[in-house]
Amino acid sequence: MTAELEVAGPAEVLTDIRGGVLVITINRPEQRNAMSKSAAEAIAAALTRLDADPDLAVGILTGGTETFCAGMDLKRFQQLGERPVVDGRGFGGLVESPPAKPLIAAVEGWALGGGFEMVLAADLVVAGEGAKFGLPEVKRGLIARAGGAIRIPRVLPRAVALELLLTGEPMAAATAKHFGLVNRVTADGAALQAALELASVVAGNAPLAVRASKALADRSRLWPDGEAFTRQVEFTDPVFASQDAKEGPAAFAERRTPRWTGR
């Protein structure tokens, strides 16, 4: 079931629901999927839908089989002064406020500038072997301010992160996987299918536990070690007190598939 979001321009963003997974496809191939304001608004709307719909467990963001996203649509910026930023969500409707539910980036071809920064805002990354990731802002007298300069040093070793930021040169998918930026590398054209397989595994787990695990992993990064175990109870206690926490062990003991309720 594929449908264009009403807030987008003609087919700029498509959504496709597949077994509890919301696939969000940037669909501006003639512009190398460069981000427009309307596309950013459509992605923001899709992410809001992902978090609000209890039947959706995981999101996948992709650009199809040619290019993930070449960054901001510079022609629209020059002609109209348009910036693909959504209040409260940032560039692409994503980078400043990722969804509470897991988001997987399925990357084929180039992910440049803001496109790469959207990948960095995702939780998991699957890439075709020909995918390339780059932050070329310094080549244009700019800086990667949509999360690139902030997130890259958190994901990659400092020297590797600085090489990306200071040279503006791209990184290949195999290298990105070597350094932990990419989870899985596939044959070109197979990233979305591999992302769907990964998403189905995540979607099969208890939704409260998955969501709380993501939140705890994200927020605890800057907690002092002496406070971490005390502060985590805000996330862990509601999960252990849930109906799903009773259902999981019961299903294991009875050798059946758990029936999660999200409560």
Tens of pLDDT, residue by residue over 151-206, are: 999 999 999 999 999 999 999 999 999 999 999 999 999 999 999 999 999 999 99
- Please report where in the chains the tokens 């971490």 appear, as a residue: 228
Q: Rounded to an integer, what distance in angstroms lies between the CA atom of residue 154 and that of residue 161?
A: 9
Q: How confident is the model at residue 8 (pLDDT cuts 50, 70, 90)?
A: very low
Residue 213, judged by CB atoms within 10 A of its CB (0-12, 13-18, 19+), counts as middle
Q: Are 59 and 50 in contact (CB under 8 A)?
A: yes
**What's the pLDDT tens digit per position in 208-256?**
999 999 999 999 998 998 899 999 999 999 999 999 999 999 999 999 9
The sign one gets for the Cα dihedral 206, 183, 130, 137 is: positive
> Is residue 100 predicted with pLDDT exceeding 60?
yes
Residue ranges with strand state E in the chain: 2-4, 13-18, 21-26, 58-62, 85-86, 90-91, 103-107, 110-112, 124-128, 132-134, 171-172, 184-186
Catalytic residue among 12, 66, 137, 197: 137
Catalytic residue among 12, 41, 108, 117: 117
Nearest to 243 by CA among 262, 256, 257: 262
**CB under 8 Å to 184, separation ≥6 — which residues?**
125, 126, 127, 177, 194, 198
**What's the pLDDT tens digit per position in 135-162?**
999 999 999 999 999 999 999 999 999 9
Q: Rounded to an integer, what distance in angstroms lies between the CA atom of residue 100 and that of residue 149?
A: 22
Nearest to 184 by CA among 192, 194, 197, 193: 194
Q: Is 169 a catalytic residue?
A: no
Tell me, what's the pLDDT at 3? 45
Q: What is the DSSP string of 130-150?
A: T-EEE-GGGGGT---TTTHHH
Render the burial of 84-105: b for 16+ CB within 10 Å, e for the rest. Answer: bbbeebbbbbbbbbbbebbbbb
Q: Is 12 a catalytic residue?
A: no
Q: Rounded to an integer, what distance in angstroms lies between the CA atom of residue 244 and that of residue 19?
A: 20
Nearest to 89 by CA among 24, 49, 40, 123: 40
Q: Rounded to an integer, what distance in angstroms lies between the CA atom of residue 109 and that of residue 249?
A: 43
